[in-house]
């Protein structure tokens, strides 16, 4: 009898789990495994696959365009220090008790919830050669000729980086805000009473206590910088003349324009490897001294 009830509960457990497990198996677990294996195959658009060993990886090493794209993805990491510094400052500002502070928080967060398509279309419009920024700057006389933010090879990548920074600020601000609220308020008060200046309180108390959040945010933003896709795809399409081609975009083109699924999977695996390496570096540099984690 007791055994029966137990067996019943096991069956019940799996009945509750099965729908979710089916979805996760097909769309989450299987792609991880199949994706790794796919890199060793040549897969054409007719669906014929042949095992070709390491050929895809060998090709990747001599694929100039891939390394150029990879270089741009690594350059994209430049966003990380700026976005972290600015979002910490924003968090400290909005963490003050002040009337209407709440409204500012919301305003800074709105770019986070809007779609990248909407954001990219908006910024393309603002940054156009005859867009509002150029039109004001040239009419005021600050510029002789409009700046080609998105259409010059020197600027395109950096202009998109700015949009990434702008859209992401609010997201990291909220994480830092949660970190700040975990900092015991008394601590800063005591330091201030001891005569510490505001910047000293920040530098010696607030920032060190934020360390776990800084690690988390740096890892997250470095990962998404290396994997950046959406804003590049919409705003420049990798151009002009591949000057903003990043690894994820090249992989996407290899898969869904050239229909070389196997090669694209191999490239994706290599990008994942680079992301992994940078994540480990981040943990090594920022992870130590985690003892002062506020808990």
Partner 1 sequence: MKSSGFYRVSRGVKRVLLYLLMTVIALIMLGPFLWLLSTSLKEASYIYAYPPQLIPRPLTLESYIAVIKQLDFLTYFLNSVFITVGGISLNAIFSSMAAYPLARFEFPGKKIIFAAMISTMFLPNSAGLIVNFLTMKRLNLVDRRVAVFLPAAVTVFGIFLLRQTYLKIPGELEDAARIDGASEFGIWWRIMLPLSKPALVTLIIFDFVTHWNSFLWSLIILQDPKKYPLAAALQYLQGVFAYDFKLIAAGTVISVIPIIIVFLVFQKQYMSGMAGAVKA
Q: Which of 44, 51, 54, 117 binds partner 1 (CB under 8 A)?
A: 117
Q: Using CB under 8 A, which residues numbered 250 to 289 contact partner 1?
A: 251-252, 255-256, 261, 264-265, 268-269, 271-272, 275-276
Residue 85 in contact with partner 1, rule: CB under 8 A:
no
Closest approach of partner 1 to the CB of residue 131, in Å: 9
DSSP string, the chain: -HHHHHHHHHHHHHHHHHHHHHHHIIIIIHHHHHHHHHTTEEE-TT--EEE-TTHHHHHHHH-HHHHHHHHHHHHGGGHHHHHHHHHHHHHHHHTS--TTHHHHHHHHHHHHHS-HHHHHHHHHHHHSTTSHHHHHHHHHTS-SS---TTTSTTTHHHHHHHHHHHHHHHHHHHHHHHHHHTS-HHHHHHHHHTT--HHHHIIIIIHHHTHHHHHHHHHHHHHHHHT--HHHHHHTTT-STTTT--HHHHHHHHHHTS--HHHHHHHHHHHHHHHHHHHHHHHHHHHTTGGG---
Binding segment for partner 1 among 67-75, 76-84, 226-234, 282-290 (CB under 8 A)? 226-234
Q: Using CB under 8 A, which residues numbered 193 to 222 contact partner 1?
A: 216, 220
Closest approach of partner 1 to the CB of residue 178, in Å: 4
Residue 96 in contact with partner 1, rule: CB under 8 A:
yes
The residue (of 120 and 157) whose beta carbon lies closer to partner 1 is 120
Q: Which of 57, 82, 109, 283 binds partner 1 (CB under 8 A)?
A: 109
Q: Which of 44, 54, 81, 126 binds partner 1 (CB under 8 A)?
A: 126
Would you give the binding string for partner 1 spanning residues 56-75, x where CB under 8 A is met?
--------------------
Q: Which of 1, 2, 3, 32 binds partner 1 (CB under 8 A)?
A: 32
């Amino acid at each position: 009898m007791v055994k029966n009830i137990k067996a019943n509960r096991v069956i019940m457990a799996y009945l509750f789990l099965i729908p979710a497990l089916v979805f996760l198996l097909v769309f989450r677990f299987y792609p991880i495994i199949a994706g790794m294996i796919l890199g060793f195959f040549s897969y054409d658009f007719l669906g014929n696959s042949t095992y070709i060993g390491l050929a895809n990886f060998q090709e990747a090493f001599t694929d100039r365009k891939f390394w150029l794209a990879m270089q741009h993805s690594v350059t994209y990491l430049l966003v990380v220090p700026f976005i972290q510094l600015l979002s910490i400052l924003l968090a400290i500002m909005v963490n003050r008790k002040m009337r209407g502070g709440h409204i500012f928080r919301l305003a800074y967060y709105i770019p986070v919830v809007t779609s990248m398509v909407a954001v990219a279309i908006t910024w393309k419009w603002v940054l156009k050669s005859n867009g509002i920024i150029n039109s004001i700057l040239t009419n005021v006389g600050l510029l002789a000729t409009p700046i080609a933010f998105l259409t010059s090879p020197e600027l395109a990548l950096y202009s998109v980086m700015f949009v990434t920074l702008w859209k992401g600020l609010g997201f990291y601000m909220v994480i830092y805000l949660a970190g700040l609220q975990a900092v015991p308020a008394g601590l800063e008060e005591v330091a201030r009473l001891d005569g510490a200046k505001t910047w000293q309180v920040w530098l010696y108390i607030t920032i060190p206590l934020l360390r776990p959040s800084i690690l988390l945010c740096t890892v997250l933003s470095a990962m998404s910088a290396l994997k950046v896709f959406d804003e590049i795809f919409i705003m420049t399409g990798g151009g002009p003349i591949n000057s903003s081609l990043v690894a994820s975009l090249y992989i996407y083109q290899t898969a869904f324009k050239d229909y070389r699924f196997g090669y694209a999977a191999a490239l994706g695996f290599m990008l994942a490897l680079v992301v992994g390496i940078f994540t480990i570096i981040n943990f090594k540099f920022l992870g130590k001294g985690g003892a002062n984690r506020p808990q």
